[in-house]
């Protein structure tokens, strides 16, 4: 019985992770970080490109004072968390909401990132 519960828990977790990765696929505009919207001259965009069920790559583009910068990253999804590797540094974000029209994630500092599809 305990083995059956463990198998069902793992299968359920994998299914949720695959669903998160499928919903992530595409371009997302950052609406707020820690409840604060970007300034008028700022914008942040995350573009996720799903490679397989639980991994992918993407870009993080930010604009500040008329200048845009883009950094590439890779990511994986496990246990409803996204491990994002950017410039050799891993960040783990917990996914708290994953819908077609809104994503919410909590970064390692505890800030909630609210994302809308672009």
Q: Give the CA-trace dihedral at 109, 88, 71, 84, to 10 degrees.
A: -50
Q: Name the burial class of residue 71, with classes exposed (0-12), middle (13-18) and buried (19+) by CB atoms within 10 angstroms of its CB.
A: exposed
Residue ranges per structural domain of the chain: 2-117
Please tell me the distance from the alpha carbon of residue 62 to that of residue 33, in angstroms, as a whole number. Answer: 13
* Structure-block tokens of residue 33: 């970080």
Q: What's the predicted TM-score (pTM) here?
A: 0.83
Task: Note the pLDDT tens digit of each residue in 92-111.
Answer: 999 999 988 999 999 999 99
- Name which of 25, 93, 34, 33 is nearest 54 in CA terms: 25
Please tell me the distance from the alpha carbon of residue 55 to that of residue 78, in angstroms, as a whole number. Answer: 9
Task: Note the pLDDT tens digit of each residue in 6-58.
Answer: 333 333 446 889 999 999 999 999 999 999 999 999 999 999 999 999 999 99
**pLDDT above 60 (res 4):** no
Top CATH class, 2-117: mainly beta
At residue 5, the pLDDT reads 33
At residue 15, the pLDDT reads 83
**pLDDT above 90 (res 3):** no
Judge contact between 104 and 96, C-beta under 8 A: yes
E strand or H helix at 16: helix 2-24
């Amino acid at each position: 019985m305990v083995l059956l519960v463990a198998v069902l828990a793992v299968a359920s977790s994998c299914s949720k992770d695959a669903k998160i990765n499928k919903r992530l696929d595409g371009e997302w505009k950052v609406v707020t970080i820690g409840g604060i919207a970007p300034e008028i001259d700022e914008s942040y965009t995350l573009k996720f490109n799903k490679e397989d069920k639980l991994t992918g790559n993407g870009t993080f583009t930010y604009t500040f004072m008329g200048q845009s910068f883009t950094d590439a990253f890779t990511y994986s999804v496990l246990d409803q968390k996204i491990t994002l590797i950017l410039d050799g540094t891993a960040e783990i974000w917990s996914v708290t909401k994953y819908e077609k029209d809104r994503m919410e994630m909590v970064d390692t500092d505890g800030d909630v990132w609210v994302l809308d599809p672009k």
